[in-house]
């Protein structure tokens, strides 16, 4: 009913009615022939239910677009959840790496402290060993000096006695011997 009313209004409002040369309802009037062909075409479309088919196709297309939008929305939500998950994992990894770095720094500090203590102990042991060697060398040197002083003194005494020196010259000889010994020590 609606379609026939629309068709009637289209006929009434057509510019063919405004043409005044030929009668409107004549086959000689091309506007009338076009109007009849148009009405027949519309009738064929209605007979074969083309508007319903087109509407159905549009509805199917709208449904498929809606399904695609729903799928895209679901994919977006999944991607957002994955992103949040990866961001959480990244944060956890950063925190773990910070803990590892802190532990490594603490371990390095402890190792450095232990190494310093070991070096200090080693230096103390070496200093003690060096002092013992110096004391031993000093004792050995003092013994050698005494032995040489004794030998020199004995030799000097021999010389003094042999020459029968007086006390003044004997004192000078002893001072020279001590100086000689002192030079050999240093």
Q: Is residue 84 part of a domain?
A: yes
Q: Is residue 23 part of a domain?
A: yes
21-79 pLDDT, tens digit per residue, is: 667 777 888 888 999 999 999 999 999 999 999 999 999 999 999 999 999 999 999 99
SS3 per residue for the chain: CHHHHHHHHHHHCCCCCCCCCCCCCCCCCHHHHHHHHHHHHHHHHHHCCHHHHHHHHHHHHHHHHHHHHHHHHHHHHHHHHHHHHHHHHHHHHHHHHHHHHHHHHHHHHHHHHHHHHHHHHHHHHHHHHHHHHHHHHHHHHHHHHHHHHHHHHHHHHHHHHHHCCCHHHHHHHHHHHHHHHHHHHC
Q: Is residue 74 part of a domain?
A: yes
**Domain encompassing residue 13:** 2-93
Q: Is residue 149 part of a domain?
A: no
Q: Is residue 125 part of a domain?
A: no
Q: Is residue 54 part of a domain?
A: yes
Q: What is the number of domains present in the chain?
A: 1
Segment 136-140 shows an average pLDDT of: 86
Whole-prediction pTM value? 0.38
Q: Is residue 150 part of a domain?
A: no
2: pLDDT strictly greater than 70? no
Report the pLDDT value the prediction gives residue 157, as an integer from 0 to 100.
67
Q: Is residue 35 part of a domain?
A: yes
């Amino acid at each position: 009913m609606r379609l026939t009313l629309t068709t009637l209004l289209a006929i009434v409002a057509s510019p063919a009615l405004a043409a005044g040369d030929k009668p409107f309802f004549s086959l000689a009037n091309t506007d009338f022939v076009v109007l009849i062909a148009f009405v027949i075409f519309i009738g064929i479309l209605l007979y074969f239910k083309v508007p319903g088919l087109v509407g159905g196709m549009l509805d199917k297309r709208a449904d498929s677009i809606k399904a695609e939008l729903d799928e895209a929305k679901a994919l977006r939500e999944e991607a957002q959840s994955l992103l949040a998950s990866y961001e959480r994992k990244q944060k956890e990894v950063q925190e773990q790496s910070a803990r590892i770095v802190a532990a490594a720094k603490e371990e390095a500090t402890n190792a450095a402290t232990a190494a310093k203590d070991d070096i200090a102990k080693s230096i103390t042991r070496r200093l003690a060993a060096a002092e013992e060697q110096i004391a031993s060398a000093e004792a050995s040197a003092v013994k050698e000096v005494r032995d040489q002083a004794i030998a020199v003194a004995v030799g000097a005494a021999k010389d003094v006695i042999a020459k029968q020196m007086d006390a003044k010259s004997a004192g000078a000889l002893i001072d020279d011997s001590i100086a000689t010994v002192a030079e050999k020590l240093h």
